[in-house]
């Protein structure tokens, strides 16, 4: 048995599931995979994979915290926390200057405001409609006959001239986008319009609380440079990015692992 202090975080999201191991004062390893209809099994598989990657035995892990949409299904975790707490903690640890954290997930969008010490002050979220989420972008990309991973490249392929989309309802916007294609509107203009619509919706949440820099995005949509570009234009600021090698989609599991460390240390003073 080693003398390392190890904790773990499991983030079961609506579309992807993540796991992270925190060793002493740094990230040991993290993994990501698709969520399934069996979140209990998915959580266990993610956990086993991250332990293997970090070369850690299960008996070495002092504490485990679950988070995300399916956090209650992480049956082997000692407790669970909200995604708000986890993403705020993870983002702040990986980017110590962060004061506003925007998490654009698979089926909802959350904005967390942090104080100077990294404690959550308030939050806003959109969980009533899929518009503006990762699943929404994936749905519209399929309607356009392209891979969601190509949206950022197409966005950047022409001058920024986004078409204005009148609806943010997934059903109606699909018809609107198809009509634009049939009207021979350039694809980059349509994609930019899609990103602009998403960014406008997210920016409204941020502005509701007040824009406090530094602002950083977590979640899978943070990897879409087109959404980032549109959000920067809408907010009128430059968004911060995590250090090289840090995946913004992993912030929930990373934050959960750090919270697990904090809880354990507080209880074993």
Positions of the chain with pLDDT lower than 70, given as ranges: 1-2, 127-131, 168, 170
Task: Select from 269, 245, 257 the least CA-distant residue to 85.
Answer: 257
Which pLDDT does position 222 carry in this prediction?
Answer: 95
Structural domains in the chain (count): 2
CATH number reported for the structural domain that contains residue 87 in this entry: 3.30.420.40
> Do 146 and 227 share a domain, yes or no?
yes
> Do 118 and 65 share a domain, yes or no?
no
Whole-angstrom CA distances from 85 to 121, 151, 188, 253, 257 are 11, 30, 36, 11, 12
> Do 108 and 222 share a domain, yes or no?
yes
Distance CA 128, CA 142 (A): 22
> Do 127 and 232 share a domain, yes or no?
yes
> Do 161 and 260 share a domain, yes or no?
no
Which pLDDT does position 128 carry in this prediction?
Answer: 62
> Do 101 and 218 share a domain, yes or no?
yes
Which pLDDT does position 11 carry in this prediction?
Answer: 98
> Do 146 and 248 share a domain, yes or no?
no
The token pair at 172 is: 């109606």
Structural domain of 8: 1-95+243-269
> Do 120 and 223 share a domain, yes or no?
yes
pLDDT digits 0-9 by tens, 182-229: 999 999 999 999 999 899 989 999 999 999 999 999 999 999 999 999
> Do 106 and 233 share a domain, yes or no?
yes
């Amino acid at each position: 048995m080693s003398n390392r202090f190890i904790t773990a975080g499991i983030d079961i999201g609506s579309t992807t599931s993540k796991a992270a191991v925190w060793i002493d004062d740094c990230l040991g390893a993290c993994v990501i995979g698709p969520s399934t209809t069996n979140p209990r099994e998915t959580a266990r598989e993610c956990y086993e994979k991250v332990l293997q990657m970090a070369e850690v035995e299960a008996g070495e892990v002092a504490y485990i915290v679950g988070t995300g949409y399916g956090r209650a299904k992480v049956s082997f975790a000692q407790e669970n926390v909200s995604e708000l707490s986890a993403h705020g903690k993870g983002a702040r640890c990986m980017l110590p200057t962060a004061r506003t954290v925007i998490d654009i997930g698979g089926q909802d969008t959350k904005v967390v405001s942090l104080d100077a010490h990294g404690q959550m002050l308030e939050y806003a979220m959109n969980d009533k409609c899929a518009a503006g989420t990762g699943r929404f972008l994936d749905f519209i990309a399929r309607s356009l006959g392209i891979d969601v991973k190509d949206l950022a490249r197409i966005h950047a392929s022409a001058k920024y001239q986004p078409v204005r989309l009148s609806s943010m309802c997934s059903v109606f916007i699909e018809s609107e986008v198809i009509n634009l294609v049939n009207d021979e509107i350039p694809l980059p203009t349509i994609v930019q319009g899609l990103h602009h619509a998403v960014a406008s919706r997210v920016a409204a949440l941020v502005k509701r609380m007040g824009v406090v820099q530094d602002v950083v995005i977590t979640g899978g949509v943070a990897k879409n440079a087109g959404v980032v570009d549109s959000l920067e234009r809408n907010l009128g600021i430059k968004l911060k990015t995590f250090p090289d090698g840090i995946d913004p989609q992993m912030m929930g599991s990373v934050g959960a692992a750090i919270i697990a460390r904090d809880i354990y240390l507080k209880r074993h003073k």
